[in-house]
Amino acid sequence: MLRHLLTAALCLVLALPAAAQDVPLKVTATTTILADAARSVGGDLAAVSSLLPPDTDGHAYEPTAADIAGVAQADMLLTVGAGYETFLGRLLENAGGRVETVEVSRGLEILPLGLVGHSRDDEEHDESPFLGVLGEGLECEPHEHDDAVTDEPEHEHGSCDPHVWMNPRNVIGWVDNIVAAFSAADPANASAYRANGKRYIEQLEALDAEIEALVSDIPDDQRILITNHEFMGYFAQRYGFEVVATVLPGMNTGGEIDPQTLAELIIRVRDEHVPAIFAEVSANPQIAEVVAAESGAAVVTSLYSESLGGADSPASTYIDLMRYNAQTITAALLAGE
Ligand SMILES: [Zn+2]
16-106+114-126+145-206 homologous superfamily: Nitrogenase molybdenum iron protein domain (3.40.50.1980)
Task: Using pLDDT thresholds of 50, 70 and 90, give the confidence band for residue 12.
Answer: very low
Mean pLDDT, rounded, for 62-69 = 90
H helices of the chain, in order, are 2-15, 32-42, 65-73, 88-94, 168-185, 190-215, 233-239, 259-271, 286-295, 318-335
Write out the DSSP string of 146-171: GGGGSSTTTTSTT-B---GGGSHHHH
- CA-based nearest residue to 38, from 206, 161, 235, 196: 196
- Beta carbons of 232 and 211 less than 8 angstroms apart: no
Q: Given phi > 0 = left and psi -120 to 50 = alpha, else beta, which region is 73? A: alpha
Give the distance (Å) from ligand 1 centre to CA of residue 129.
19
Give the distance (Å) from ligand 1 centre to CA of residue 313.
19
Give the distance (Å) from ligand 1 centre to CA of residue 30.
14
Task: Using pLDDT thresholds of 50, 70 and 90, give the confidence band for residue 337.
Answer: low
Question: pLDDT value at position 59?
Answer: 82
Q: Residue 233 CB: number of other CB atoms within 10 A?
A: 28
Over 70: is that where the pLDDT of 159 sits?
A: yes
The environment of the single-atom ion ligand 1, i.e. residues with CB closer than 5 A, is 231
Give the distance (Å) from ligand 1 centre to CA of residue 183.
30
| Domain positions in the chain | 16-106+114-126+145-206, 219-335
Mean pLDDT, rounded, for 28-36 = 97
Task: Using pLDDT thresholds of 50, 70 and 90, give the confidence band for residue 250.
Answer: low
Give the distance (Å) from ligand 1 centre to CA of residue 202.
27
Mean pLDDT, rounded, for 47-62 = 87
Give the distance (Å) from ligand 1 centre to CA of residue 250.
9
Strands across the sheet containing 109-110? 109-110, 132-134, 137-138
Give the distance (Å) from ligand 1 centre to CA of residue 304.
10
Q: Residue 138 CB: number of other CB atoms within 10 A?
A: 17
Give the distance (Å) from ligand 1 centre to CA of residue 160.
12
Whether cis (ω within 30° of 0) applies to the bond prior to 24 is no
Q: Do domains 16-106+114-126+145-206 and 219-335 have the same CATH topology?
A: yes
Lowest mean pLDDT among 53-62, 73-82, 215-224, 301-310: 53-62
Name the strand (E) or helix (H) holding 103: strand 100-103
Give the distance (Å) from ligand 1 centre to CA of residue 308.
13
Please give the CATH number for the structural domain made up of 219-335: 3.40.50.1980
- CA-based nearest residue to 181, from 20, 25, 22: 25
Over 90: is that where the pLDDT of 26 sits?
A: yes
Give the distance (Å) from ligand 1 centre to CA of residue 193.
29
266/255 Cα distance (integer angstroms): 18
Give the distance (Å) from ligand 1 centre to CA of residue 60.
10
Over 80: is that where the pLDDT of 9 sits?
A: no
What does the angle CA 43 – CA 49 – CA 50 come to, to the nearest 5 degrees? 125
Question: pLDDT value at position 154?
Answer: 41
Q: Residue 19 CB: number of other CB atoms within 10 A?
A: 8
35/56 Cα distance (integer angstroms): 14
Q: What is the pTM of this model?
A: 0.87
> What mean pLDDT, rounded, does the chain reach?
86
Give the distance (Å) from ligand 1 centre to CA of residue 293.
24
Give the distance (Å) from ligand 1 centre to CA of residue 10.
46
Task: Using pLDDT thresholds of 50, 70 and 90, give the confidence band for residue 2.
Answer: low
Task: Using pLDDT thresholds of 50, 70 and 90, give the confidence band for residue 117.
Answer: low
Give the distance (Å) from ligand 1 centre to CA of residue 230.
7
Q: What is the CA radius of gyration of the chain?
A: 21
Over 70: is that where the pLDDT of 118 sits?
A: no
Question: pLDDT value at position 163?
Answer: 96
Question: pLDDT value at position 284?
Answer: 79
Question: pLDDT value at position 93?
Answer: 87
Cβ burial of 284 (10 Å; 0-12, 13-18, 19+) is middle
